[in-house]
Amino acid sequence: MSQGVEGGGSIVLRWQLAAALKELREQAGLTQEQAVERLRAGDGRWSRSKLSRVEIREHNIKPREVEQIFAAYRISDKKKLESLRRLAAAASEPGWWAGFSNDEVPASLRPFLSLESGLVARRDFQSQLVPGLLQTGEYTRAVIDAVNPWMFSPVEVERRVAARMVRQQIISKENAPQFHFILDGTILHRVVGRKSVMRDQMRKLLDVSERENVTIQVLPHDAGGSPGLEGPFSILSLPEPTPDIGYAEGPAGTAYIEDRARVRTLTMRFGMLAGAALSQAESLEAIAAAAERFS
């Protein structure tokens, strides 16, 4: 991802603010050089570099700097000013992950969590594990123990589990994003932890699927070869005018995909997977059957 990799405040809110401020400058009929000349005549310390970084989403801007921009651009819309001042303040507020250490919520994950907190929708394909947003606490513990045996103390494991459970609040919050999950059928058969862990995990999938903003599909074994063979990935939909972003993670790290052609390819892949997967009703039947097997 080319912008906002530090993941401090809200990346999405900063991007929205950047787009709004650039639009205001263009509506005022000003080039960046002309805008900076006006800004330098007022309060604050401005340069062409600073304004450019604001507009390309690389620099946080304070509420008082929003006021300086409105004055320089000679914009008298007080309602718009207050709206963007609030947006600037909110963009700098730390997310829920700020309460956890880097050992509990890795620094490499924080930019993604910042994006996730501002999502409109997410499409997600998983080939190995139940997605983190849908996991039970016991399933998460079993995954940690399986992937990183003896690496964390019991206290560290519990803090990591707690972080994941807090993260899941995005599904049930007010104005929650739309989620569409496609799970490879292998996930319903691979025993992670004890059978009782899998039983409870399958039941959680059934419970979450009752939410209007959540769709869960299962890609059956008899689907044969599919775009899913290339591995798990997500498509993140952000508020307008920000275009969709592709996302993938693995042992080598995380990858953010902003190139429009590559994102279109991911979108096509997801559409093909959705078409090859069981319907939502059939998928829930498959999950219910898995829960019964693990009972």
From CA 181, how far away is CA 68, in angstroms rounded?
44
With 80 as the cut, is the pLDDT of residue 109 above it?
no
Q: Which two tokens stand for residue 133?
A: 């947003």
pLDDT, tens digit, for every residue of 44-77? 889 999 999 898 888 888 899 999 999 999 999 9
Lowest average pLDDT, out of 49-53, 79-83, 94-98, 279-283, goes to: 94-98
> Residue 5: its pLDDT value, please?
38
**β strands within 111-262, DSSP E:** 121-126, 178-184, 214-219, 233-237, 245-250, 253-257
Tell the residue number behind the tokens 């650039």, with chain if given. Answer: 22
User: Quick one: which H or E segment has residue 261?
Assistant: helix 260-276
Report DSSP state, residue 133.
Answer: G
Query: C-alpha distances in angstroms, 260 versus 10, 89, 120, 243?
Result: 23, 31, 18, 8
> Residue 9: its pLDDT value, please?
60
DSSP characters over 79-118:
HHHHHHHHHHHHHTS--GGGGS-TTTS-GGGHHHHHHHTT
Reported confidence tier of residue 127, pLDDT bands at 50, 70, 90: very high
> Residue 3: its pLDDT value, please?
42
- Domains of the chain (ranges; CATH) run 11-91 (1.10.260.40), 101-293 (3.30.870)
With 80 as the cut, is the pLDDT of residue 162 above it?
yes
Listed residue (94, 120, 288, 125) closest to 219, CA to CA: 125
Report DSSP state, residue 246.
Answer: E
pLDDT, tens digit, for every residue of 222-259? 877 888 788 899 999 988 778 899 999 877 778 888 89
Reported confidence tier of residue 271, pLDDT bands at 50, 70, 90: very high
With 90 as the cut, is the pLDDT of residue 31 above it?
yes
From CA 182, how far away is CA 31, in angstroms rounded?
46
Beta-strand relationship, 178-184 and 214-219: parallel
Cβ–Cβ under 8 Å, residues 217 and 279? yes
Query: Region 145-169: what's the mean pLDDT?
Result: 90
With 60 as the cut, is the pLDDT of residue 6 above it?
no
Selected residue with higher pLDDT from 194 and 227:
194
From CA 70, how far away is CA 25, in angstroms rounded?
9
Share of the chain above pLDDT 70, in %: 97
> Residue 1: its pLDDT value, please?
47
Edge-to-edge strands of the sheet including 253-257? 214-219, 178-184, 121-126, 233-237, 245-250, 253-257
From CA 141, how far away is CA 43, in angstroms rounded?
53
